[in-house]
Amino acid sequence: MSPTKSFCAAALAAFCIAPAMARPHATPTPVPTPTPVEDPSITKLVRTQFVLWQAGSVNKDLYAQQVLDKLSDATIAQTSKGLAQLGALTEVVYLGPWIEPDFPPGARGFVYQMRCTIGNVYLFLALDPQGKIATILFKNRLDVETVTPRPSPPPA
């Protein structure tokens, strides 16, 4: 091999290898947290209940007794008025499970964001073991103390 070809081959090898050696190690990418899986039947119930609450036409047959004891016509009217100001419902986003120590035994809780044309609100809903609505709350903000995050997977 001629000296020129040897020099070119050595320079090319140095050029190809040098940048690879000079590169810093890639920053590890965090493992993504899995998106909570929603139950379509619960999402349908939440959507229906939200629209009924906006209209002030709550189906009391779907509610557990402890909720019915607190549901006055004035409460429904006041809540309806506030929810109606948000405009038409455009999207229902499931955020995850809701766990509350005061739930009746066997109750399951869910948190949703209700997106409307004028604003958003969070809907917290719990169903008792018989499928009756044991709790329903509408909140302007998401309180971190009321949402139980899913545990992160252990590091690999």
Structure confidence at residue 144 as a pLDDT band (50, 70, 90):
low
What is the token pair recorded at 114?
């209700």
Average model confidence (pLDDT) across the chain: 81
Instruction: Write down the pTM of the prediction.
Output: 0.69
Rounded to an integer, what distance in angstroms lies between the CA atom of residue 16 and that of residue 2? 21
Structure confidence at residue 99 as a pLDDT band (50, 70, 90):
confident
Rounded to an integer, what distance in angstroms lies between the CA atom of residue 140 and that of residue 131? 26
Please give the pLDDT value at position 18.
Answer: 45
pLDDT at 135 over 70: yes
Distance linking the first and last C-alpha atoms of the chain: 50
Domain 40-146 indexed as CATH 3.30.450.40: no
For residue 78, how many C-alpha atoms fall within 13 Å in the half-sphere facing its CB? 6
Structure confidence at residue 109 as a pLDDT band (50, 70, 90):
very high
Please give the pLDDT value at position 22.
Answer: 52
Q: What mean pLDDT do residues 126-140 have?
A: 94
- Phi, psi at 39, each rounded to 5°: -95, 115
pLDDT at 4 over 80: no
Higher pLDDT, 44 or 28: 44
- Classify residue 117 as left (phi > 0), alpha (psi -120 to 50) or beta: alpha
pLDDT at 154 over 90: no
Poorest-pLDDT segment among 25-29, 33-37, 99-103, 110-114:
25-29
Q: Please state, as a whole number, how many other Cβ atoms lie within 10 Å of the Cβ of residue 71.
A: 14
Percent of the chain at pLDDT exceeding 90: 60
pLDDT at 20 over 70: no
